[in-house]
Amino acid sequence: MGSVAVLVFPGSNCDHDAYHALKHVMGADARFVWHKEATLGDADAVIVPGGFSYGDYLRSGAIARFSPVMQDVVRFASAGGPVIGICNGFQILLEAGLLPGAMLANDRLKFRCKQVHLRTERTDTPFTSGIEEGRVLSIPIAHGEGNYTAPEEVLREIEENGQVVFRYCDALGNVKPEANPNGSLRNIAGIVNKERNVLGMMPHPERACEASLGSEDGRLIFSSLLNHLEVA
Amino acid sequence: MYKVRIHITLKPSILDPKGKASHGALQNLGYTQIKNVRIGKLVELEVEADDEKAAIDAAEQAAQKLLANEVMENYRIEHIEEAG
């Protein structure tokens, strides 16, 4: 089984959750990598966890993106290595230019902390290959700036390339405005890059890996990733 | 030493939730003549440089690389003065 690096920035607060989910629930070889490290070591996959790196100063993820380890994450991703950015990690990947678009403050300015439903739009990624297309996942969100935006031509491009992996939906899988917790364009909750090896998502799969937490749907994403590493 | 100010604003096409909320509050306070609010940032830099052009160049690079996110923001270098 591959080894998974969980990055730690000053202000990360979901690093231990991600480590716990991967190591203790999924049984993967997970380890922390401090943001000052120059390299990821022999990692086979990278998790950029949630939190408030650098206090979200300037813009969410804007400063973390220049941490030494992020240079190696860019190299790793460019070489095809799988990377998942969750919540603030998604924001960092956007700022780093590994994913297209940007995040605005949620519409109505509420910090939204709740269980949401996500429709799985694409199964042709290393992160969703073990999920049936259209399956509705129950996973929590917790963010103030998850309002995904991108210029119209970028939106068109990511839709045409099938890069939208998760959309906010209702319990039955209907993507509609009422199911959108933050104002994200086209209910976008998660996207991949064109090469499909970098995933960014606002919801927290690491908080939905055990029945005692109300949902185990997050495991489907990590098990897809770990299966992918095994085959690769 | 030069003082350089950079104004960073959301692109006109981008919705501004903070501006919208502030606009709503101003309406509630009775300032109904205020028809729109857009909120940006003002960044002040102190730049050590040989001349004004070099100071502006440095500010320009800082804005492009870090201070502004050109996916959603525009920036304008607004003000420059020699500081003591």
pLDDT band (50, 70, 90) for residue B82: confident
Phi, psi of A184 (to 5 degrees): -50, 135
Give the residue numbers spanning the domain of A187.
3-231
> Which chain B residues are closer than 8 Å to A151 by Cβ?
13, 71
* CATH at residue A12: 3.40.50.880
Per-residue confidence of chain A (232 residues) as pLDDT tens digits?
Answer: 579 999 999 999 999 999 999 999 999 999 999 999 999 999 999 999 999 998 889 999 999 999 999 999 999 999 999 999 999 999 999 999 999 999 999 988 889 999 999 999 999 999 999 999 999 999 999 999 999 999 999 999 999 999 999 999 999 999 999 999 999 999 999 999 999 999 999 999 999 999 999 999 999 999 999 999 998 6
B63 in the Ramachandran plot: left (φ > 0), alpha (ψ -120 to 50) or beta? alpha
Report all structural domains of chain B as residue ranges with CATH numbers, in order of start. Answer: 2-82 (3.30.1280.10)
Give catalytic status of residue A206 as yes or no.
Answer: yes
For residue B6, list its beta bridge partners. B43, B77
Interface test with B, best of A90, A91, A98, A109 (most B CBs within 10 A): A109
Catalytic choice (A117, A206, A209, A228) = A206
Which pLDDT belongs to residue B84? 63
Which pLDDT belongs to residue B79? 73
Structure tokens at B22: 């502030």
Q: How many CB atoms lie within 10 A of CB A68?
A: 12
Shortest CA distance to A198 belongs to which of A153, A165, A167? A165
Q: How far is it, in rounded angstroms, from Cα B55 to Cα B82?
A: 10
The stretch B4-31 carries a mean pLDDT of: 93
Closest chain B residue to A57, measured at CA: B67
> Which among B21, B66, B69 has the least Cβ separation from residue A109?
B21
Query: How many domains is chain A partitioned into structurally?
Result: 1
Shortest CA distance to B77 belongs to which of B15, B68, A96? B68
Q: How far is it, in rounded angstroms, from Cα A34 to Cα A53?
A: 12
Structure tokens at A157: 């491009």
